[in-house]
Structure 1
Amino acid sequence: MKISTKGRYGLTIMMDLASRFGQGPIPLKRVAERHDLSEHYLEQLIAPLRNAGLVRSIRGAYGGYKLAKAPEEITAGDIIRVLEGPISPVEFTDEDNPARRDLWKRIRDAIATELDSTTLTMLIQFNSDGNNENYMFYI
């Protein structure tokens, strides 16, 4: 399964908001500047995250975005599903060879289990222990 820039940048946005949880709304422009990303692209990603109830938007001069729940309540799986769709390494049907279909299901389930057991809190703790410049996720 390959995670696109949507998923990777979405995780970056959410990790940035998680690392500043409780500090009030964060302007998306600041997130873009901190990670050298396109603010316009991040605006496209934040909308589905807001619609899914993962972030809240605050209007006004001191507005921005903040997590809708605590970082330990939001998983990488929540974010990836919103931005990438269902988690599946390949398309398979009931007509596929049963052994091959079983293998793809086990791979899908293992990926989903790992994503669903990895919270934003865990990701930002891991990141604070290592290099802050580039996020690299291995599953």
Structure 2
Amino acid sequence: MRLTTKGGFALTAMIDVALRERDGPVPLASISKRQHIARSSLELLFSKLRQHALIKATRGPGGGYTLTRKASEITVADILASVDGQAPAEPETETRTEAPAVAKAARRESTAEIGCYSTEALWASAKHHVMEFLGSVTLQSLVDDQLAKGVRVDEEPVRKKEPALRPTASLRHVNAPNSVFAWNGVFAKR
């Protein structure tokens, strides 16, 4: 699994949905505005999140996105894996055509001849620990952290159509002639 910018955006957006879904589906436009993420990027991310059954869409007026499961059942590893296209527990596949054991043995021999030390075991262990950690952090724990930090979850005001304003007559007194005929009297006095 890779830690990418799009993974970070997906995690941020999922926290936003989890914080606000109690008021109904959360529109992408409002997530985009609050989190300063381009709506087009969110559309791509949410498409992948929907394919992995982490969120569901509601169409029409008042539509948006909600979680398909409780936030306590969704892990950070699930979210990152869904947008980066790799299953959370799936190891990276060998890109060579040789069998994995043969390929590793060949790399060990070539590095031993040059005098380099292999760090494959170190990186494999690090990856295992990172995956274990990301699999243990739930979306709900991230939501709770945000609430503890004082993040406000204000309800967005529902915008009602305001009645069209009608022009009103001005009650100011204007000291000017009110007709063409009255102008004649103004010019005659001069």
Shorter-chain TM-score tier: 0.7 to 0.9
Q: TM-score w.r.t. structure 2 length?
A: 0.61
The aligned residue for residue 138 of structure 2 is 119
Q: Deviations over 1:64-119 (max 9, x none)?
A: 0011111000000001111124479x987641449622212111110101110000
Q: Structure 2: 5+ residue runs without aligned partners? A: 95-99, 109-116, 152-190
Residue 69 of structure 2 corresponds to 69
| Aligned-pair Cα RMSD in Å | 2.5
- Normalised to the residue count of structure 1, the TM-score between the two structures is 0.82
Checking the alignment, whether the CA contact within 8 Å between 1:17 and 1:26 is kept in structure 2 is yes
Q: State the AA in 2 paired with 1:32.
A: S
In the TM superposition, what is the alpha-carbon distance from 1:2 to its structure 2 partner?
Answer: 5.8
- Secondary structure class of the residue paired with 2:57: strand
Higher relative contact order (CA 8 A, sep 6+): 1
Q: Which runs of 5+ in 1 are unaligned?
A: 133-139
SS at 1:65 equivalent: strand
Which residue of 2 is the match for residue 13 of structure 1? 13
Contact 2:13 2:35 in 1 (8 A): no
CA distance in 2, matches of 1:85, 1:108: 17
- Cα distance between partner residues in 2 of 1:85 and 1:118: 19
Quick one: which of 115, 122, 126 aligns to 1:107?
126
Query: Shift in Å at residue 3 of structure 1?
Result: 2.2
Judge conservation of contact 2:56–2:66 (CA < 8 Å) in 1. yes
Task: Give identity over the alignment, percent.
Answer: 31
Q: How many residues align?
A: 131
Q: Deviations over 1:33-74 (max 9, x none)?
A: 111111111111100000100000001101100111110000
Q: Which residue of structure 2 lines up, in the alignment, with residue 137 of structure 1?
A: none
1:44 counterpart = 2:44: yes
Which stretch of structure 1 is more off in the superposition, 91-100 or 33-42?
Answer: 91-100
